[in-house]
Amino acid sequence: MKRRKLMTLIGGLAIAWSLTSNAQPPNPVLPKRIGVLAVSGCPMESNSLITRRLAELGWVEGQNVVFDCVSTIDRLDQLPALARELVSRRPDVLVATPSNLVRALKQETTTIPIVMLMPADPVQNGLLTSLARPEGNVTGVAFFGSELSGKRLELLKEIVPHLRRLALVASEHQDSKAAQTLEETFTIAASTLGFTWERFRPALASDYDEVFARIAAGHFDAALISPDPLTQQNAARVIELALRHRIPTVGASTAWAKGGLLLGYGQDDRWGLVRGAEYIDKILRGAKPSDLPVEQATEVKLVINVQTANALGLAVPPSLFARADEIIE
């Protein structure tokens, strides 16, 4: 009897200890941190394409992943310090675009993985030595650059056949190597297509009014908008000024034409953001950037805004209509 009572007591204590232990909360697993050096505003969760794809892959904001976002709006002149600040927080992965934001992060760390989202010509512009074998801490999704710039000028010449003077709007905050590549492309295209060109370099958001007033006063026949950080941050203002001054203008993505510019020609930003999220997922699960070849976008789209063409008194050639992926009526 005594033995049975003792065994019963021991069993009861074991069960009680087990229940007590099971009631203790498990050690919390810290969420992964994604550091974003943003060309636009924060928070990062506002970018639904990236966050939606990450959620599909099992990464839910506030549960197992958090975004640590630093915006460059009104602070592009502080870019090195902003990159340093973000790197000092030691996120699990860093994310940025365009080239100069990626370069700023790359100069601050050689160990934290960096996923680049659609910079143009990353090998030519010195961010990588190879797309197939990145060899460092940078990988992600890349776009074509110089090839598309030349094609944009050809398209603009088709719809503005009297093109003799062209304005290039590319701010002081454009990546220096990307700017050099772009200007080389313009020099070649100008010789081939028979026009002269001049670069306009806004340094502040407030400079765009003066820039477009000078382009109009100088009787430039058309303009090309370069996709640098300051111009991206002020896209709505740039479109409004181009329309107000009646300047035929081409932008470096389809969004520009959808917003009101005459032409938009570029690669698919939506595809790039979704694929970029997939790179983030792989790195958060332990992949090394050097083992992930950079993916170069291949699909290029042309959007023509016929409303703007009509307002400018321009006739869209049938051959251009036939090549358009989308027409804004």
Is there a single domain that holds both residue 187 and residue 287? no
Task: Give me the mean pLDDT over the 38-66 stretch.
Answer: 87
Whether residue 312 is found in the same domain as residue 190 = yes
146-158 mean pLDDT: 92
Give bridge partners of residue 139 from the DSSP assignment: 115
pLDDT at position 258: 95
Would you say residue 187 lies in a domain?
yes
Asked if 308 and 162 sit in the same domain, the reply is: yes
Calculate mean pLDDT across residues 272-277: 94
Is residue 186 one of the residues assigned to a domain? yes
Cross-strand partners of 198: 167
| Whether 138 and 111 share a structural domain | yes
- Which residue is it, tokens 């993916």? 295
Do 132 and 257 lie in a common domain?
Answer: no
One domain, residues 114 and 240: no
Distance CA 304, CA 251 (A): 11
In whole angstroms, what is the distance from residue 89 CA to residue 143 CA?
29
Both 158 and 232 in a single domain? yes
Q: Is the pLDDT of residue 22 over 70?
A: no
Q: How far is CA 46 from CA 38, 43, 51, 67, 76, in A?
A: 12, 6, 8, 11, 21
CA 324 to CA 329: how far, in whole Å?
12
The CATH number linked to 73 is: 3.40.50.2300
Does residue 278 belong to any structural domain of this protein? yes
Beta-strand relationship, 114-120 and 93-96: parallel
Residue 109 lies in a domain: yes
| Same domain for 128 and 107 | yes
Average pLDDT over residues 154-180: 94
* pLDDT digits 0-9 by tens, 84-97: 999 999 999 999 98
pLDDT at 46 over 70: no
Q: How confident is the model at residue 48 (pLDDT cuts 50, 70, 90)?
A: confident
Q: In the chain, what percentage of residues exceed pLDDT 90? A: 78
pTM above 0.95, yes or no: no
pLDDT tier for residue 28 given thresholds of 50, 70 and 90:
low
Residue 61 burial by CB count (10 A; 0-12/13-18/19+): exposed, middle or buried? middle
Instruction: With respect to residue 125, please indicate whether it lies within any of the assigned structural domains.
Output: yes
Mark whether 244 and 123 lie in a shared domain: no
C-alpha dist (Å) from residue 16 to 9, 11, 24: 10, 9, 13
- Decide if pLDDT at 54 tops 60: yes
63 is a domain residue: yes
| Residue 52 belongs to a domain | yes
- The answer on pLDDT for 24 being more than 90 is no
Task: Return the minimum-mean-pLDDT range out of 43-47, 140-144, 188-192, 208-212.
Answer: 43-47
Say yes or no to pLDDT of 18 above 50.
no
Residues 135 and 170 in one domain: no
Helix (H, G, I), strand (E, B) or coil at 17: helix
**Domain span at residue 68?**
32-143+269-296
Both 89 and 178 in one domain: the answer is no
pLDDT of 121 above 70: yes
| Residues 135 and 64 occupy one common structural domain | yes
**Domain count of the chain?**
2
Q: Which helix (H) or strand (E) holds 121?
A: none
Tell whether 210 is covered by a domain. Answer: yes
CB 229 within 8 A of CB 72: yes
Residues 6+ apart with CB under 8 A from 86: 35, 36, 37, 68, 70, 94, 105
Contact 182, 201 (CB under 8 A): no
How far apart, in whole angstroms, are the C-alpha atoms of residue 246 and residue 300? 27
What does the longest C-alpha to C-alpha distance in the chain come to? 110
Predicted confidence (pLDDT) per residue in 193-237, tens digit: 999 999 999 999 999 999 999 999 999 999 999 989 999 999 999
